[in-house]
């Protein structure tokens, strides 16, 4: 085994460990992510990918078994938020300002949904994110999305929350 090989293995182990720790924080601190069964499958600076295993209780159309739009928007919102968290250093509270989703084609019944979000720009107070939801091939998207997030700096109160 070469030193380079050891280095790669160590990097892969570090990445797997980071993913494991983030998955715990991601579900322990966010009950709705846990309720949906969301799994973090990629967590790099500025990029996050989540997997939603298909479940019958997430169906929106009783006629054809297609996932509810609210499930897709939950996954997209969670993925975009994760991408922002992975970009902003040090860690800050964030909140979704707006989220636009285009539903390009119906999600396939019985199939896991993947969502990959990329943070395209971060300023002091605002982060911009783009996301694609798909069934394994990002070139065949189920939905594309654009979101903006507020980044709360120290001492700034979150909207809708009374100052202490």
Partner 1 sequence: MPERPPFAERIAAAKASGAFTRLIEDVAFARMLGLSLVFVDGELHGRLAFAPRNIGNTALPALHGGTISALLESTAIFELLWQKDEPVLPKVISITVEYLRSGKPVDTWAHARVTRAGRRVANVHVTAWQDDRERPIATANTLLLLGSG
- Contacts to partner 1 by CB under 8 A: 29-33, 35, 56-63, 67-71, 73-78, 93, 95-103, 106, 158-161
Bridge partners for 51 per DSSP: 39, 114
The residue among 43 and 145 lying less far from partner 1, judged by its C-beta, is 145
**Least distance (Å) from partner 1 to the CB of residue 144?**
10
**Least distance (Å) from partner 1 to the CB of residue 96?**
5
* Cβ–Cβ < 8 Å for 41, 117: no
DSSP codes of every residue in 108-136:
PTT--EEEEEEEEEE-SSEEEEEEEEESS
The residue among 2 and 135 lying less far from partner 1, judged by its C-beta, is 135
**Least distance (Å) from partner 1 to the CB of residue 49?**
17
The residue among 7 and 109 lying less far from partner 1, judged by its C-beta, is 109
DSSP codes of every residue in 62-87:
TTT-PBPHHHHHHHHHHHHHHHHHTT
What is the distance between the alpha carbons of residues 17 and 11, in angstroms, rounded to a whole number? 10
**Least distance (Å) from partner 1 to the CB of residue 124?**
19
């Amino acid at each position: 085994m070469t030193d380079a090989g050891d280095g790669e293995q160590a990097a892969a182990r570090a990445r797997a460990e980071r993913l494991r720790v983030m998955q715990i924080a991601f579900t322990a601190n966010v009950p709705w992510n846990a309720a949906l069964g969301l799994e973090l499958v990629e967590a790099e600076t500025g990029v996050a990918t989540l997997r939603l295993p298909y479940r019958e209780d997430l169906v929106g159309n009783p006629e054809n078994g297609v996932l509810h739009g609210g499930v897709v928007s939950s996954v997209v919102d969670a993925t975009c938020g994760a991408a922002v968290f992975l970009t902003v250093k040090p860690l800050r509270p964030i909140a979704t300002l707006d989220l636009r989703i285009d539903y390009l084609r119906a999600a396939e019944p019985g199939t896991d949904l993947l969502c990959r979000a990329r943070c395209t720009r971060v300023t002091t107070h605002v982060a911009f994110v783009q996301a694609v939801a798909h069934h394994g091939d990002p070139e065949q998207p189920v939905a594309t999305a654009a979101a903006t997030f507020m980044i709360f700096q120290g001492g700034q109160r979150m909207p809708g929350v009374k100052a202490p």
